[in-house]
Amino acid sequence: MATIASDIETSSIADGGLSMGHLALHYGTPEDGPAAARLLQIAGLTETQMLPLPGGNFYRFVVAKGHFGRGDGIVYLSCLPEPQQKLIAAIHAALRVGTGDEHEAVVAYRAMMAQDFEASFHFGFLVESLEELEKMVLTLRDLAENDPVFKGRLNIGMNRARRGDVAVDARLDASPVFGEATRYAYGSAGVQVFVETDLIRAGQLGENMYLEFDYVFPDRHSHILSVVEL
Ligand SMILES: [Fe+2]
Q: Output the CA 124–ligand 1 centroid distance in Å.
A: 6
Query: What is the pLDDT averaged over residues 178-185?
Result: 95
Q: What is the percent of the chain with per-residue pLDDT over 70, rounded to a whole number?
A: 97
Q: Output the CA 215–ligand 1 centroid distance in Å.
A: 12
Q: Output the CA 119–ligand 1 centroid distance in Å.
A: 8
Query: What is the pLDDT averaged over residues 151-159?
Result: 97
* Nearest-10 crossing angle of helices 130-146, 33-42: 150
Please list, residue by residue across 88-121, b when 16 or more beta carbons sit within 10 angstroms of its beta carbon and e when fewer do.
beeebeebebeeeebeeebeebeeebeeebbeee
Q: Output the CA 122–ligand 1 centroid distance in Å.
A: 7
Cβ burial, residue 156 (10 Å; 0-12/13-18/19+): middle
pLDDT band at residue 7 under the 50/70/90 scheme = low
pLDDT at 138: 98
Q: Output the CA 167–ligand 1 centroid distance in Å.
A: 24
Q: How far apart are CA 82 and CA 14, in angstroms?
A: 39
Q: Output the CA 113–ligand 1 centroid distance in Å.
A: 13
